[in-house]
Structure 1
Amino acid sequence: FSPLLFIQVYHIFKKMVLYRLNIGYQDRGSFIDVVEANIFTISPVVSVDIGERTRLTLEGEYTEKSAVAYEGLPSVGTVLPNPNGEIPRDRFFGESDSVIDNSITRLGYRLEYRFSNNWSLQNAFSAKIQRSEPGNELYITTQARLADDNRTLNRQAIDSIVDYEDYDIATYLTGKLSTGSIDHELIFGVDLSSSFLRFERSRTIETPIDIFNPVYGRVTGPSINDFDGDQLTITLGIYVQDQVTLTENLKLLLGGRFDLFEQDFRFRSNTTRGSGNDFSPRLGIVYQPIQPISLYASYSRSFVPVRGTAFGGGAFKPERGTQYEIGIKADVSEQLSATLALYDLTRTNVTTEDPDNPDFQIQTGKQRSQGVELSIAGEILPGWNIIAGYAYIDAKITEDNTFPVGSRLYNVPENSFNLWTSYEIQRGTLQGLGFGLGLFYVGEREADLGNNYQLPSYLRTDTAIFYNRDRFRAALNFRNLFNIDYFEGSLGSNVFPGTPFTVQGTISWQF
């Protein structure tokens, strides 16, 4: 049972001041033994009209989360055979007092000045401060491999403190103008950001545990300091974009962005400095041969400085990407539309979680993803809604010095499908009563970048019954209706089982 409280207050004062206050608290358990989490959040927003042309919006958020650390189950005994038997899905191999505390504070503003109906200038600032650290005890990880007997898990305790600060300020000018019969929607902007990452980590060897007959408790060995360092990244971006309307049925998108960055990375007493810059163009076209049909094509590049830490120190190279996409969107009716897209995405210097060292990342050479996506969304008949999608993804490593070329990206299924449809009675004494049905298929996926083992495919069924009337809503959601066994993902030699049959009830009232 996981109680959830969410309060939203929204008010208008003399049509000049708008404010909203969201408050939420959740005490969440799980189907995993002793794994639970407490989450509290509060986020106020105030928007003020300063004269007829100027509006100032102030935003804030504070979130605090405390959770028992959970690192999944060994793959041997779950998706792979174990001569000792199968590991129960709800088993936990850490310690109940291994709690991670995480707090996030966000503050910011948006200031908009309208010169006219067609031109406006906006300035926005945001600050994010995040701190993550263990509570009174160490963080237990099951990343260590099983012993040769396939039942003894050699555990490690990870004691890490992460401080993250991010400051962003952006100014951009938007406007509309015409050159003869051609219309333009222009955006010109500049953004500056500074991020600071402080990271400390040490580890100790803990008492092993028998995964088939666990006896909890620990004896801690000597502590080993893995990492003590920080990273400062400063980036500047300048961009311009023009959406050009040549005719009513033909539009072009022309844009570009220039980025540059400087980065200082300190690992213990050693400091590494890096810098770089790149130009990223963006091109697009939309053509409507008839009103309900839109054909489009796009090309874009990206350049992103990488913020993170590698085990043993060292800065990462910036990530670069190139994407091509073509597609078609069809408005079947005023309420129902369908989209078909084909894309080719190439990324270099992509970071991913280090399977052998939790809290750290590794950087792969080049990845290429090609695929097809089909989606349908809207209202078929009054009260009958549908959201459906299918994706085919061919995602592989094309260049790398560590992993075999041609290896598929882990946790990425080649085929996936989702369907959610609901019907709400429109009139009569049962008006507002509704029912929903969902099907979610995820195909077989590789479980690691070395493609050493796979996660099996699954088809999950969800249902719901709900009631809407005026500002009141009540619902019962049934997740995994047939209680199938499945795995949501993996990391290294560990896998994460999916949630069994679950019932969730919600009641809400909109003020």
Structure 2
Amino acid sequence: MKPKQLSKIFLLASSVSFWGVMSATAQEIPKQEVQSKSVASGLRNSKSIREIRQISEIEHPQTSAQMLVQSPAPSSDIVQITGVKATSTEKGVEVILQTSIGAQLQITNRSTGNNFIADIPNSQLRLPNGDAFTFRSEKPLAEITEITVINLDANTIRVTVTGEAGLPTVELFDDDTGLVFGVVSAATAMQPPEKPTTQTKPEEPTAQQEPTAQQDEPIELVVTGEQDGYRVPDTSSATRTDTPLRDIPQSIQVIPQQVIKDQQATRLTDVLKNAPGVVVGSRSPRDPLNIIKIRGFDAFSDTLLNGIQDSSISSVGFGSNIERVEVLKGPASVLFGQGGLGGKVNLVTKQPLRDPFYSVETSVGSYNSYSGAIDLSGPLNDSKTVFYRLNASAGTNESFIDFYDQQQYLIAPTLSWQISDRTKLTLEASYSLVEGPYDFGIPAQGSVLPNPNGKIPRNRFLSEPNLNDTSNGALRIGYNFEHRFSENWQARSVFQTYSFRLRRNIVAPFGLQDDLRTIDRGVEDFDYDENAYNLDNYVVAKLTTGSIKHELVAGFNLNQTDTNSKALFNRTTPLDVFNPVYGTATQATVPDFDIKNTIQQLGFYLQDQITVAENLKVLLGGRFDIANQEFQDLLNQTTDFEQAEAFSPRVGIVYQPIKPISLYASYSRSFSQGQYTLGAAPPEPERGTQYEIGVKADLTDRLAATLAFYDLTRTNLPTSDPNDPRLTILVGEQRSRGIEFDISGEILPGWNIIAGYAYTDAVITEDNDLPVGNQLNNVPRHALNLWTTYEIQSGSLKGLGFGLGAFYYGDRQADLDNTVELPSYVRADAAIYYKLDNYRAAINIKNLFDTDYFVSAQNVNRIIPGDPLTIQGTISWQF
């Protein structure tokens, strides 16, 4: 199948998807009638529509689940609860589950002992942007220990009210504000609570409150704006279904918004240091090009944006519009096609909110670092069916490296249209730009190795102040169309395109000369353009075969990437690294290469999540891909075309001996044709195989941990032909085995933690150029990350918080020849912040003890030093 043929298929599929969107928009299903305001408005002033009596007053039928109310049957859709309010009143406390169709919900009583427990089937806690959350209120009344509202599973909400000495008294109401649980104080008569009289901002991202019966003024708490602290209970990127992490046979690490905010992480590599098994690869973390390794293997192009392949996001695009970062460990070819074996990084953007939300933030830090950001969201019409979000930011920073000055810009508008209760269309765009010099580091001899001339200063700049300019820019546009035919059938169409442009005019250092003080250099004028188009259409269906439940995902994916890269290059004047004299370099004039690549992929995939029993789940998946690459050398007038077909299976099983514990095992394969290289494609794609076993534990409803053991093998890697060194053969092999542990969530009220440990044994197992047994470069055997915060929960210092972190990386090899070893290091970070109403002020200190360390190496001539002690102050305001 030639590129032109696949291009026709791509255009046809795009047209089908577009007209599918328009036809579904034109044929809307009328909204169901809900209770009128005239009835609802008098609800709490007359009598409760539904009342949850004390357990002793309820007649228990001979069924496993007792229905406490007789209400209209729920709609075919799962009811979305978009926020939870807890309000103290004169009568006690009322908890409001915000939904306009509260009358459709049914309540199942599962109370026991001192715990009033109400399960609400066919419902889920979902923020307006689609994220799950939980709610907890501690000691709202003298006789009430705690109130919690959680997602019990993918289809059920559980409300729990824990009494101090006995079963609490609870009443139930519904009106146009939502479903209301009235928790009545023992000192008052049982009657409907009054409506709240005061209210905080609707997007206040708080999950706890401390009202008491003795408070002078009633207060209201609204949970609508962010995820639940440091723990994210579920994700859709790993399976394309809304599945709890505990039910997925795969190690998945989620770094939520709260962690990003607490650490003031401004680079993708800063965020990923919280994920065990993920390390900085062969580039400087100060550059926009985020080269990372997952489980020992390169994952530069293995980046997703909202679950769609987008390799440019690893170069430019991380910023104030990112809500959270997900790391999917292991191969993911079943859903995403070509990719590396170690894993993928998925960046999830902030989505529009139905209620007004505005945020302004500004930061000032060491080395003339200044930045500002705005985050605006809300409805565009009275019915709140069209809503927007706009994120924009700008920043500038210097560095401890001489002549380093970088600027970053981002604007990201998003528009959502809730066409009906069943149909939603989201349009999203962004433009990112990063300008500044390229960081080459310093040679090994004079940094990690001795040099008879002395030690090379860590801040030494080996390029040219006036000839080291890079510009990375990316424009992204896409749509996400979702339609639910019924509770059991839904369809989704996603299209995303981006245009990435890199311009680089630099002087690059090479190796030291024999005197070990003069370094050779070359000058390069490099242009790179990448345009990609990605279309993904799939359906999700819930079926049953007897007592076995199935959740099927079936779809096709079509993408095309066009790249054009060309460069001028020639040698220029060398530089004395101990006594540099700048200004002698000349411009590049000699054509070096001019290459055009066209990469296309068509894939069909099918996945089945099987619930054999409540404690036994099986995941089966497979994907068939047709991938080709046309390589054109425009300087030498040559063309090469390669096409490959690949089948990628995935098998996993989860067994839960008790509900909080999940034991899992999985097998999966990956393939990669080498699509993001500048050279010709190899005749056969690289293949990868993974075996993984592990255990996931919900230690509490707010704290979870994962322990994983894995074995990865990459095959079909190019190496020299022993019979003709000018040729390559695909017999190279690399293996990575390891152990990973991570824990995240809330240990005690106000005390959060995200931590992990990784043991990675990544080695060469077969090669004709490199010694077998050599360690893969930039991969430490041992790595440890720990970050914890505590926020005072009451008293005059309420809102004051502290953060402390430690990050350890063991010895690493600077190159595959294993000739230079980077020493191990420990880096400590700290933070102090204070929140008052809608204001937040923070001071973050990175590398608290000013440790000298080397974070990575591109090769033995480019060892990258880490940042010294830096201080950053941030002030933000939400209104």
TM over 0.5: yes
1:375-390 counterparts in 2 under 5 A? 375-390=742-757
Alignment of 1:201 onto 2:571: no
Q: 2:614 aligns with which of 248, 269, 291?
A: 248
Distance 1:282 1:309, change over 3 A: closer
Q: 2:609 is matched by which residue type in structure 1?
A: Q
Q: 2:855 is matched by which residue type in structure 1?
A: E
* 1:180-207 CA-partner distances (Å, limit 9, x unpaired): 1111111001000000010101211111
Q: Which 5+ residue runs of structure 2 have no aligned equivalent?
A: 1-367, 720-728
Q: 1:421 aligns with which of 767, 776, 788?
A: 788
Q: 1:439 is matched by which residue type in structure 2?
A: A
Following the alignment from structure 2 to structure 1, what is the Cα–Cα distance between the partners of residues 404 and 690?
40
Asked if 1 retains the 8 angstrom alpha-carbon contact of 2:507 and 2:585, the reply is: no
Q: 1:278 aligns with which of 646, 651, 659?
A: 646
* 1:367-398 CA-partner distances (Å, limit 9, x unpaired): 11100001121211111111111100000111
Alignment of 1:40 onto 2:413: no
Following the alignment from structure 1 to structure 2, what is the Cα–Cα distance between the partners of residues 507 and 401?
56
1:24-173 counterparts in 2 under 5 A? 24-97=393-466, 98-134=468-504, 138-142=505-509, 144-173=510-539
Instruction: Please say which of residues 272-281 and 10-19 is displaced more in the overlay.
Output: 10-19
The equivalent residue for 1:356 is none
The equivalent residue for 2:544 is 178
Instruction: Please say which of residues 119-128 and 43-52 is displaced more in the overlay.
Output: 43-52
Following the alignment from structure 1 to structure 2, what is the Cα–Cα distance between the partners of residues 441 and 72?
21
Distance 1:31 1:108, change over 3 A: same
Give 3-state SS (helix, strand or coil) of 1:193's partner: strand
Following the alignment from structure 1 to structure 2, what is the Cα–Cα distance between the partners of residues 189 and 332?
36
Give 3-state SS (helix, strand or coil) of 2:872's partner: strand
Asked if 2 retains the 8 angstrom alpha-carbon contact of 1:318 and 1:349, the reply is: yes
Q: How much does 1:309 deviate?
A: 3.4
1:283-302 counterparts in 2 under 5 A? 283-302=651-670
Q: How much does 1:304 deviate?
A: 2.4
Q: CA RMSD in A?
A: 1.7
Identity %: 51
Distance 1:199 1:65, change over 3 A: same
Asked if 2 retains the 8 angstrom alpha-carbon contact of 1:70 and 1:141, the reply is: no
Following the alignment from structure 1 to structure 2, what is the Cα–Cα distance between the partners of residues 180 and 95?
72
Asked if 2 retains the 8 angstrom alpha-carbon contact of 1:259 and 1:303, the reply is: no
Alignment of 1:10 onto 2:377: yes
The equivalent residue for 2:228 is none
Q: 1:122 is matched by which residue type in structure 2?
A: R
Q: How much does 1:350 deviate?
A: 6.0
Q: Which protein has the bigger strand share?
A: 1
Q: How much does 1:226 deviate?
A: 2.0
Distance 1:83 1:365, change over 3 A: same
Q: How much does 1:364 deviate?
A: 9.1
Q: 2:592 aligns with which of 226, 246, 269?
A: 226
Asked if 1 retains the 8 angstrom alpha-carbon contact of 2:523 and 2:588, the reply is: no
The equivalent residue for 2:702 is 335
Following the alignment from structure 2 to structure 1, what is the Cα–Cα distance between the partners of residues 419 and 746?
40
* 1:209-262 CA-partner distances (Å, limit 9, x unpaired): 100001111243873322111100110011000000011100000110111112
Q: Which has the higher contact order (CA 8 A, sep 6+)?
A: 2
Give 3-state SS (helix, strand or coil) of 2:512's partner: coil
Following the alignment from structure 2 to structure 1, what is the Cα–Cα distance between the partners of residues 677 and 525?
16
Asked if 2 retains the 8 angstrom alpha-carbon contact of 1:69 and 1:140, the reply is: no
Following the alignment from structure 2 to structure 1, what is the Cα–Cα distance between the partners of residues 404 and 768?
38
Distance 1:379 1:350, change over 3 A: farther
Asked if 1 retains the 8 angstrom alpha-carbon contact of 2:673 and 2:681, the reply is: no
Asked if 1 retains the 8 angstrom alpha-carbon contact of 2:536 and 2:555, the reply is: yes
Q: 2:859 is matched by which residue type in structure 1?
A: G
Following the alignment from structure 1 to structure 2, what is the Cα–Cα distance between the partners of residues 350 and 474?
51
Q: 1:86 is matched by which residue type in structure 2?
A: K
Distance 1:470 1:117, change over 3 A: farther
Q: 1:505 is matched by which residue type in structure 2?
A: G
Q: 2:675 aligns with which of 307, 312, 316?
A: 307
Q: How much does 1:51 deviate?
A: 3.1
* 1:399-454 CA-partner distances (Å, limit 9, x unpaired): 22322221111000000001111110001111110001101100000110111110
Asked if 2 retains the 8 angstrom alpha-carbon contact of 1:262 and 1:276, the reply is: yes
Distance 1:233 1:45, change over 3 A: same
Following the alignment from structure 2 to structure 1, what is the Cα–Cα distance between the partners of residues 709 and 370?
42
Distance 1:17 1:292, change over 3 A: same
Distance 1:437 1:475, change over 3 A: same
Following the alignment from structure 1 to structure 2, what is the Cα–Cα distance between the partners of residues 64 and 480?
27
Distance 1:341 1:436, change over 3 A: same
- TM-score after normalising by structure 2: 0.55
Following the alignment from structure 1 to structure 2, what is the Cα–Cα distance between the partners of residues 158 and 301?
39
Q: 1:301 is matched by which residue type in structure 2?
A: R
Instruction: Please say which of residues 102-111 and 399-408 is displaced more in the overlay.
Output: 399-408
* 1:109-134 CA-partner distances (Å, limit 9, x unpaired): 01111101221111111111011113
Q: 1:210 aligns with which of 576, 582, 602?
A: 576
Alignment of 1:395 onto 2:765: no
* 1:88-141 CA-partner distances (Å, limit 9, x unpaired): 11110111122111210000001111101221111111111011113xxx3111
Q: 2:849 is matched by which residue type in structure 1?
A: F
Q: 1:64 is matched by which residue type in structure 2?
A: L
- TM-score after normalising by structure 1: 0.94
Alignment of 1:437 onto 2:804: yes
Distance 1:399 1:224, change over 3 A: farther
Q: Which has the larger radius of gyration?
A: 2
Give 3-state SS (helix, strand or coil) of 2:369's partner: coil
Following the alignment from structure 1 to structure 2, what is the Cα–Cα distance between the partners of residues 31 and 505?
18
Alignment of 1:477 onto 2:853: no
Following the alignment from structure 1 to structure 2, what is the Cα–Cα distance between the partners of residues 476 and 260?
51
Pairs aligned (count): 496
Give 3-state SS (helix, strand or coil) of 2:797's partner: coil
Give 3-state SS (helix, strand or coil) of 1:78's partner: coil
Give 3-state SS (helix, strand or coil) of 2:700's partner: coil
Asked if 2 retains the 8 angstrom alpha-carbon contact of 1:375 and 1:388, the reply is: yes
Q: 2:413 is matched by which residue type in structure 1?
A: P
Asked if 1 retains the 8 angstrom alpha-carbon contact of 2:412 and 2:428, the reply is: yes
The equivalent residue for 1:267 is 633
Q: How much does 1:472 deviate?
A: 2.2
Following the alignment from structure 1 to structure 2, what is the Cα–Cα distance between the partners of residues 233 and 461?
43
